[in-house]
Amino acid sequence: MTETDQRRVVFTRAGIWRGARESLPLWLGMLPFGLVIGVLADAKGMSLLEAVLMSALVYAGAAQLLALELWTDPAPIGAAMVAAFVVNIRMAPMGAALAPWLDRLRGIRLWGTLATLVDHSFALSVQEQRKGGRDAGYLLGVGLGLWASWVAFTALGHLAGSAVRLPPGHPLYFAAVAAFLSIMVGLWRSPRLDLGPWAVAGVVALAANRAGLPAPLPLVLGSFAGAALGAWIELRGRGMPGGAPRRMPREMRRR
């Protein structure tokens, strides 16, 4: 087999089914998150059908939590859209990391895979790539398996919320903050790269909130402030214009 054949990306039903099977252990982690979404949707006055459609079509837990936190009557559609965009912009670098597979897909295979891409399917697929996996159907299979569990657990949470009404200020409503913190743990690389941008993002967001700016402006301002500092640190580390060049490795200096 040639090197080109070894690197050739395929998309098979077997890969889809294997991805769906390997997503099963992750269902346990999806259960409490989906239940919280369902309970909060019921508390905001959404019907079972509306809650299920939201999870089936949006399929983004962090964005759904944020939208529900902002939900009022009438619903702030514009604010919710901007907030969801800011939260989900992290999908862009995920797609870039999965380019060895995604760049070779077309049509419904590509768009179906992108529509079901979440943090969990990204993590498993990166591990599969590092092991030399060539079947891009694996990514779609993991995403579809998690999507099915997400919709089911949201419906279950809505039914539970209808049976048990939670009072305002119940600890369960802290789930939105807890969900974002859990995502941050997985994204952390090192204090040198992340501590400064994260701290700046938090300080700017808190300052904007204290200043009385309406949602989601504190989130947007904090996100862009942290991202700007993070980009500057990355450019500086690569020795690009505007920053100090990286030191040349010792082996290259000897030459």
Q: What is the pLDDT of residues 127-178, one digit of tens each?
A: 898 888 999 999 999 999 999 999 999 999 999 887 766 666 666 666 656 6
pLDDT band at 83 (very low <50, low <70, confident <90, very high): confident
pLDDT above 70 for 6 = no
Quote the domain boundaries for residue 215. 188-243
Rounded average pLDDT over 57-72: 82
Please give the residue that has the higher pLDDT: either 54 or 178.
Answer: 54
Q: Is residue 233 part of a domain?
A: yes
Residues 156 and 216 in one domain: no
Please give the residue that has the higher pLDDT: either 208 or 62.
Answer: 208
**pLDDT of 243:** 47
Among 148, 173, 198, the domain boundary falls at 173
For residue 197, give both structure tokens: 């941008």
Residues 140 and 35 in one domain: yes
Residues 46 and 143 in one domain: yes
CA angle 89, 50, 157 (to 5 degrees): 85
Q: Is residue 162 part of a domain?
A: yes
Q: Is residue 252 part of a domain?
A: no
Residues 134 and 213 in one domain: no
How many domains, the chain?
A: 2
- The rounded distance, in Å, linking the Cα atoms of 209 and 192 is 27
Q: Is residue 77 part of a domain?
A: yes
**pLDDT of 170:** 66
CB 215 within 8 A of CB 83: yes
Residues 66 and 169 in one domain: yes
Q: Is residue 91 part of a domain?
A: yes
**pLDDT of 5:** 40
Q: Is residue 207 part of a domain?
A: yes
Average pLDDT, the chain: 80
**pLDDT of 119:** 81
**pLDDT of 156:** 93
pLDDT above 60 for 9 = yes
Q: State the SS3 of 15-78.
A: HHHHHHHHCHHHHHHHHHHHHHHHHHHHHCCCCHHHHHHHHHHCCCHHHHHHHHHHCCCCCCHH
Residues 115 and 222 in one domain: no
Rounded average pLDDT over 201-214: 89
pLDDT above 50 for 14 = yes
Residues 169 and 199 in one domain: no
Among 126, 146, 173, the domain boundary falls at 173
Residues 101 and 19 in one domain: yes
Residues 70 and 121 in one domain: yes
Q: Is the model's pTM score more than 0.75?
A: no
**pLDDT of 178:** 66
**pLDDT of 1:** 36
Q: Is residue 101 part of a domain?
A: yes
Among 116, 150, 173, the domain boundary falls at 173
Residues 84 and 194 in one domain: no
Residues 41 and 100 in one domain: yes
Please give the residue that has the higher pLDDT: either 229 or 73.
Answer: 229
In the chain, the percentage of residues whose pLDDT exceeds 70 is: 80
**pLDDT of 207:** 94
Q: Is residue 107 part of a domain?
A: yes
Rounded average pLDDT over 62-86: 78
**pLDDT of 161:** 80
Range in 21-25, 73-77, 121-125 with the lowest mean pLDDT: 73-77
pLDDT above 90 for 109 = yes
CB 97 within 8 A of CB 122: yes
Residues 74 and 169 in one domain: yes
Rounded average pLDDT over 204-212: 91
